[in-house]
Chains A and B, each alone.
Chain A
Amino acid sequence: MNKVDIACIIDDDPIFVFGTKKIMKLANFCNSFLVFHNGEEALNHLKPIIESNNDSLPDVILLDLNMPVMDGWEFLDEFIKIPCEKEITIYIVTSSIDPIDMDRAKDYDNISNYLIKPISSQKLQELMSASE
């Protein structure tokens, strides 16, 4: 299993964040977490890191769609504009099963998968084995 160094969770739901972090820890998914409560917060933090080509960039981003201030799509639109050498795996993690959203996710090359909440440890393990 290829362990991830930094996993980034962008979600406004504290329970989800709590649960996900817990599951990831249990599954030993990653070494550390970066957590943001909306797209803007994430962008403001990630942009300077990317531009300085810092090592503390996350390897995986779990992105919620429905968020206040800046939603997941808006974040994606801004995020992909930033030139980045490191390959970052982005997962959409949402409770939306709207086919429109699912279709839209396919338009982004950077998005590796579309996950429907909640995330179980079983699902996480599937992911880890898929990214191997």
Chain B
Amino acid sequence: MIHGVMDRVFSLIRKNQDIFEFTQVNALDGYLVFNLNDPHALWLNPKLRSVLGYDPQQFENEEHTSKFLDEENLNYLKSLEKGSTRIFLMHKQGYKLRLSGSVKRVTEDGSTYLFLGCNQIEQTPELKQKLLRKIRRYEKIIEGAELGNWQWNIQTGETIFSDNWAEVLGYSLEELEPTSVKTWEVLAHSEDLEKCNLELQRHFEGDTDFYQTEARMKNKSGNWVWVRDKGKVVTWTKDREPEWMTGFHVDVTEEISRLEIKKLFIDQAPSAIAMFDMNMVYIAASNKWLEDYNIQDKEIIGRRHYEVFPNISDEWKDIHKKCMQGEIHSKDEDCYIYADGTEQWISWEVRPWFTSENVIGGILMHTADITAIKFAEREVFKKQQLMETVLESIDVGIVACNENGELTLFNRATKDWHGLPPEQIPHERLSEYYGLYNLEGDRALDLSEIPLLKVLKNGKLENDEIMIKPIDGVKRKVSVNGSRLFNENGNLAGAVVAMHDITKRIEAEKKHRISQETFRGSFENAAIGMAIVKPDGQWLQINNRVSEIVGFSAEELRKKTFRDITHPEDLDLDLKLLNELIDGKRDHYHMDKRYYHKDGHLVYIHLAVSLVRDEQNKPLFFVSQITDISKEKLAEAKLKKTLLELEGLLEASTRVSIIGINPDGIIKVFNRGAENLLGYSKEEMIGIQTPAIIHSKKEMKSRSKEFAALYGEKHEGVDLFKAMATKSNFDTREWLYKPKYGNMFPVQLTITTIKDGGEIMGYLGVATNISKLKNAEKELSNILELTKDQNDRLKNFAHIVSHNLRSHSGNLGMLLDLYLEDHPEQKENQIIEMLYKASGNLKETIDHLNEVTVINTSVSETLVPVNLRKEVVNAKHSVAALIGNAQLELINEVPEDCYVKGIRAYMESILLNFTTNAIKYRAEERDSFVRFSIEEEKNFIRLIIEDNGLGIDLKKHRQKLFGMYKTFHNHKDSRGIGLFITKNQIEAMEGKIEVESTVNKGTKFIITLKKHE
């Protein structure tokens, strides 16, 4: 594009003769061209560039129009078509150059280009003079002000220093020549160079209107002088780079050094102080300041306060301003809350400072961070509040007084207890007013006894116990502690007492004492031996029973340890257990052991020991309970001996299980029979097991219930056996035994106690296997069941026979009767006659059957006493005629008071039957008799009926004797039903009948009946 413009210009010139001539004639000092459509860029030929102070070599560049033409001149130019004119173009140095020029326009391709040819105009001498004068005047001013003037071309480094500039540093200008910017750099303090450069940069970038700085420079005599520099860029390059700069410097050493002192003072100040100039620029700040505001790592000197702290409030800025006008502001505490919520408390002061000329040079700020103090104060306040709250809320009465004994504190508890608010009462009336009494509550306190006053007067007070007895209110026993109060100078300032309510404690103590006494009482009189033993084994306290057991008095025992009286064989185990107790492995132990009685014999005891520890868990003492078991031990020994004696016997029985237990239930005997039966060995059982192992739990439970129902005592496990045996010397019943292997089996078990002189030493269980017996019993009961069943069926059958056959035979008989009544002529008919007879026989048979059935079905439990003798007499009367005819002698030898249990009708029938039998079967060839006599047994009566008749051939007939329809004689009256019914009747009365007989000699029936008591 750039080239494009230049090329276009050259092409225009080449094409256009007019333009060429124009440039040759009217542009002696060069020309410029711009497009009217785009007038902001223009092109200058090398000649014009040089005239205007630019590098002619850079001609290819297109330039900004504004660099050369101001708005006014540009508009003017644009308005010209052609011809001559005067125009101002800007020189690179910044001034306007007046030129004469000619304008020509050329249009091509729709664009109009304006050519301006320039001819230089010589400046008038007048103008130059004017300028020179002006300059000289400035110089004079500068000189007069003793300002060291300087000019500096930033781009080239060229400098122009005035004489004064050199003089400030004690040199003549000549001495420094040739001067350049280096001259300054060399003389300036290296530490300040950076600061100066920084300021320069800020100025170049337009941040500051002026460059102003203070820097140290070395003067001719080699001393550092403080120089204040102030300057300004006056010309700029076309790239807006600063070109020429001018300024001056003055010596401010004195001013600075005074400031330096102040600064030094401030730097070293222990408090936070900062010094600012009138622009609020930091001159100095103490380390504490940096620290307090957390800006240690920042360079703040030379920077404005508001720049360091951008958030500073307008309020502060106002304060700063006012102080710069001479005011002093301060505040004792001020709170700042930062964005993160932290608080900072400061106390501050701002005041102006004055230069040597007594002019305000700036301000001094003095701050103190009191946050910590503030927080501490707050803590104190909080604590105070807490203390007050505590004082008011605790149930400890707190009273304080000043050094004169006037009440200053009287907390809530105190108010409640006294029932009164604090009042200044004369000391003499204090006791009366507040109800202060001695602990017993029977006497008001003297002035000298009032705790608060006592403390004030004497100093410390500990656990003084008094009673507070308000006029109306609760009596309270309190324990008072107190101490004096001193002020910060160590002078007595008063006293304070704290009162603890100990009413309850005293009561508790009283109770404790009582319970202790109770304990002592029960300890002393306990039925078992009790002792308290020190960890080293020494007896501490021994009750009476212990003395009784071991024969030593308490006094004697206290001089011994338990080791001294323990049987050496038992000591090891005892000590082992004791150590385990001390080590905490167990919390108690018990063992059977032996003591030596004072007499020298051994005492068997059961010992139970527990350990009491103190708060530090250290063993305090052992509590031992000692039971005399000598008797038991001796009994056991005896039992052993007895059993040993029995052992041979026990071992001999291989089918009978014999198991012995001691009173604790432990198996002590387990014989061969038991081993055989149960499959356990002696070794497994003796001393280890209880019989519970061989019994069914279920059975034990149900037996226990039965036992409880019977005796109202509940016994479980082995205790049950013991209880059973104890109840009645021995107990025999069926049990189930549970062998080691296999199924349970029934046994007949007898449990007995083993006694020695009335004392039970153990129990013995003797058992036999009754499995076979049980099986037989079972079979029997099955048979019984079957029999009963059959019997029932038989009964039923009999009933059918008796009832139904009866009906039919009755009908038959009745019909025959009726038939014969209707046809009396048929009476002689042989068949009818036989039919009639057959019907009669059937009826009779059925009647007999009925009799039997009736007997069988009426087995009654209501047997009544029957007098046997009377019954015999009755029978005799019944058949008196028959007896008379037969000339039979009836001998009744039954005593009068003989009663049996029976049924009268049956007895009658039985006796009648035997009597008639005796008549029927008498031996005609001899005098006949029948004798009734008895034999008495414990529960039975044997009735003996004896005759001297025909007799029965028992060898032939015994089996059939009492059968139905058996007759053994060819007697006309024998019907064979009598003995059958008799036997049935006797059995119905729960009796039995036997017979002895010899043919042709006689018969003897023996009837056994139950005796009536």
Q: Give the interface of A toward B (CB within 8 A).
A: 13, 15-16, 19-20, 22-23, 26, 66, 95-99, 116-121
Contacts and interface: CB of A to CB of B under 8 A. Distances in A.
B803 A118 contact: no
Contacts of B802: 97
A112 to B, nearest CB: 20
Nearest to A20: B814
A117 B803 CA distance: 10
Contacts of A118: 810-811, 813-814
30 contacts: A13-B807, A13-B811, A15-B811, A15-B814, A15-B815, A16-B807, A16-B810, A16-B814, A19-B811, A20-B814, A23-B814, A23-B818, A26-B818, A26-B821, A66-B803, A95-B806, A95-B807, A95-B810, A97-B803, A97-B850, A98-B799, A98-B857, A99-B857, A99-B858, A116-B806, A117-B807, A117-B810, A117-B811, A120-B813, A120-B814
B72 to A, nearest CB: 156
B929 to A, nearest CB: 37
Contact of A96 (B803, B813, B817): B803
A97 B806 contact: yes
Contacts of B821: 26
A95 B857 CA distance: 17
B854 interface: yes
A66 B810 CA distance: 15
Contacts of B806: 95, 97, 116-117
Interface in B923-945: none
A118 B815 CA distance: 10
Contacts of A19: 811, 814-815, 818
A96 B802 CA distance: 8
Q: Which of B817, B821, B858 is the most central at the interface, judged by chain A CB atoms within 10 Å of its CB? A: B817
Interface of B: 799, 802-804, 806-807, 810-811, 813-815, 817-818, 821, 850, 854, 857-858
Nearest to B822: A22
Contact of B854 (A13, A99, A116, A119): A99
B811 A120 contact: no
B815 A121 contact: no
A96 B854 CA distance: 11
B811 A16 contact: yes
Nearest to B853: A97
Nearest to B815: A19
Given A95-B810, A97-B850, A99-B858, A121 B817 contact: yes
Given A16-B807, A95-B803, A99-B854, 18 more contacts: A13-B811, A15-B811, A15-B815, A16-B811, A16-B814, A19-B814, A23-B817, A23-B818, A26-B818, A66-B803, A97-B803, A97-B806, A98-B857, A99-B858, A117-B807, A118-B814, A119-B814, A120-B814
Contacts of B850: 97
A105 to B, nearest CB: 16
The 5 nearest A-B residue pairs measured at CB: A118-B810, A95-B806, A19-B814, A95-B807, A118-B814
> Per DSSP, are chain B's interface residues mostly helix, strand or loop, or mixed?
helix
Contacts of A116: 806
A97 B810 contact: no
A8 B337 CA distance: 132
A101 B857 CA distance: 13
Contacts of B813: 118, 120
Contacts of A96: 803
A96 B799 CA distance: 9
A124 to B, nearest CB: 11
A16 B815 CA distance: 9
Nearest to B799: A98
A99 B903 CA distance: 15
Contacts of A15: 811, 814-815
Contacts of B818: 19, 22-23, 26
Nearest to B806: A95
Nearest to A117: B810
A98 B800 CA distance: 11
A13 B806 CA distance: 13
A98 B815 CA distance: 25
B318 to A, nearest CB: 130
A96 B858 CA distance: 15
Contacts of B854: 97, 99
A120 B803 contact: no
Nearest to A14: B811
Contacts of B811: 13, 15-16, 19, 117-118
Nearest to B847: A97
Nearest to A15: B811
A132 to B, nearest CB: 24
A98 B854 CA distance: 7
A24 to B, nearest CB: 11
A80 B804 CA distance: 28
A22 B182 CA distance: 185
Given A97-B802, A97-B854, A120 B807 contact: no
Contacts of A26: 818, 821
B867 to A, nearest CB: 24
A66 B807 CA distance: 11
A16 to B, nearest CB: 6
Given A95-B810, A97-B850, A99-B858, A120 B817 contact: yes
A59 to B, nearest CB: 23
A20 B817 CA distance: 11
Q: Which of B806, B821, B850 is the most central at the interface, judged by chain A CB atoms within 10 Å of its CB? A: B806
A121 to B, nearest CB: 7
A56 B803 CA distance: 34
Nearest to A99: B858
A120 to B, nearest CB: 7
B406 to A, nearest CB: 114
Contacts of A117: 806-807, 810-811
Contacts of B799: 98
Contacts of A16: 807, 810-811, 814
B804 to A, nearest CB: 7
Nearest to B810: A118
A94 to B, nearest CB: 9
B48 to A, nearest CB: 163
Nearest to B817: A120
Nearest to A64: B807
A118 B808 CA distance: 9
Contacts of B807: 13, 16, 95, 117
A72 to B, nearest CB: 13
A118 B842 CA distance: 13
B933 to A, nearest CB: 33
Contacts of A120: 813-814, 817
B191 to A, nearest CB: 147
A95 B849 CA distance: 13
Nearest to A100: B857
A91 B810 CA distance: 17
A79 B810 CA distance: 28
B848 to A, nearest CB: 12
A120 B802 CA distance: 19
A93 to B, nearest CB: 10
A22 B515 CA distance: 109
A96 B853 CA distance: 12
A18 to B, nearest CB: 8
B500 to A, nearest CB: 95
A119 B818 CA distance: 11
A56 B744 CA distance: 79
Contacts of B858: 99
A26 B857 CA distance: 38
Nearest to B813: A118
A117 to B, nearest CB: 4
B801 to A, nearest CB: 11
Q: Which of A20, A95, A96, A120 is the most central at the interface, judged by chain B CB atoms within 10 Å of its CB? A: A95
A26 to B, nearest CB: 7
A97 B848 CA distance: 12
Contacts of B804: 95
A12 B444 CA distance: 120
A108 B810 CA distance: 26
A116 B810 CA distance: 9
